[in-house]
Structure 1
Amino acid sequence: MSGDTTLNPAPRAQSDTRRKMRHRGNGLFWILPALVLSVGLIYYSIGYTLYVSTLKWDGFSPNPEFVGADNYAQALNDPVFWMAIGHTLLSFIVTFSFQVAIGVTLAALLHSNPWFGGVYRVLVFIPVILAPAITAPVFRQIFAPDGQLNAILEVIGLGEFAQPWLAQTSTALPMLMIIMIWHGAGLSFILYYAAMSQIEPEVLEAAELDGAGNFRKMISIIWPSVRGTTIVLATLNAIASLKAFDIPYLVTAGGPNFATEYLGTMIYRISIRLTQVGYGAALSVLLLIMALVIGIVLNSRRINGKRGQ
Structure 2
Amino acid sequence: MGVIYYGIGYTGYISTLNWDGISPDPPHVGAGNYTRILHDPVFWDAVRHTAEFFVVTFVVQTVLGLVFAVLLHTRLKLAVIYKVIIFMPVVLAPAIMAPVFRHMFAPDGELNSVLRHVGLGALAQPWIGQTSTALPVIMAITVWEWTGVTFVLYYAAMTQLEQSVLEAAKMDGAGNIRTLVSIIWPEMRGTTVALAILGAIGALKTFDVPYLVTIGGPNYATEFLGTYIYRMTIPLDHVGYGAALSIILLVAALIISIAVQLGGRERKARD
* Aligned with residue 108 of structure 1, among 70, 73, 90: 70
Q: Provide the aligned length of Structure 1 versus Structure 2.
A: 271
Instruction: Identify which of 246, 261, 264 aligns with 2:223.
Output: 261
Please point out which of 58, 67, 91 is paired with 1:96: 58
3-state secondary structure, aligned to 1:202:
helix
Which residue does the alignment assign to 2:35? Answer: 73
Offset, 1:197: 1.0
In structure 2, C-alpha distance between the alignment counterparts of 1:93 and 1:306, rounded to whole Å: 22
1: CA distance, partners of 2:127 / 2:266? 43
Paired letter, 1:243: K
- Residue 234 of structure 2 aligns to a residue whose secondary structure is helix
Show CA shifts across 1:196-249 (max 9, x none). 111111111111111110011011100111011111111010000000001110
Equivalent residues in 2 for 1:183-222, closer than 5 Å: 183-222=145-184
The alpha-carbon deviation at position 122 of structure 1 amounts to 1.0
Name stretches of at least 5 consecutive residues in structure 2 with no aligned partner: none
Unmatched 5+ residue regions in structure 1? 1-37
**In the TM superposition, what are the counterparts of 1:16-27 in structure 2 within 5 Å?**
none
CA RMSD between the two structures? 0.9
Provide the rounded CA distance (Å) in 1 between the counterparts of 2:110 and 2:181. Answer: 39
- Counterpart of 1:149, as a letter, is L
The one of 235, 240, 263 equivalent to 2:202 is 240
TM-score normalised by L of structure 1: 0.86
After superposition, what is the alpha-carbon deviation per residue over 1:75-128, rounded to whole angstroms, capped at 9, x for unaligned? 110000000000000000000000011011111101112011111111100111
**Structure index of larger Rg:** 1
CA distances 1:140-163 after superposition (whole Å, capped 9, x unpaired):
111011110000001000111111
The C-alpha deviation readout for 1:60-83, integer Å capped at 9, x for no partner, is 001101000000000110000000
Matched, 1:48 2:10: yes
User: Which residue of 111, 124, 130 corresponds with 2:86?
Assistant: 124
Secondary structure, in 3 states, of the residue corresponding to 1:171?
helix
What letter is aligned with 1:157?
G
Q: d(CA) in 1 for partners of 2:195 and 2:8?
A: 26
What's the counterpart of residue 179 of structure 1?
Answer: 141
The aligned residue for residue 186 of structure 2 is 224
Residue type of the alignment partner of 1:216:
R
Structure 2 distance, partners of 1:42, 1:71, is: 23
Q: Which amino acid aligns with 2:78?
A: F
Matched, 1:87 2:36: no
Quote how far apart the aligned CAs of 1:306 are: 4.3
Query: Taking CA–CA contacts closer than 8 Å with sequence separation of 6 or more, which of the two structures ends up with the larger relative contact order?
Result: 2
Match of 1:252 among 214, 217, 236: 214
What aligned pairs does 1:254-293 form with structure 2 within 5 A after superposition? 254-293=216-255
Normalised to the residue count of structure 2, the TM-score between the two structures is 0.98
- The one-letter amino acid paired with 1:155 is H
Match of 2:98 in 1: 136
Aligned-residue sequence identity (percent) comes to: 57
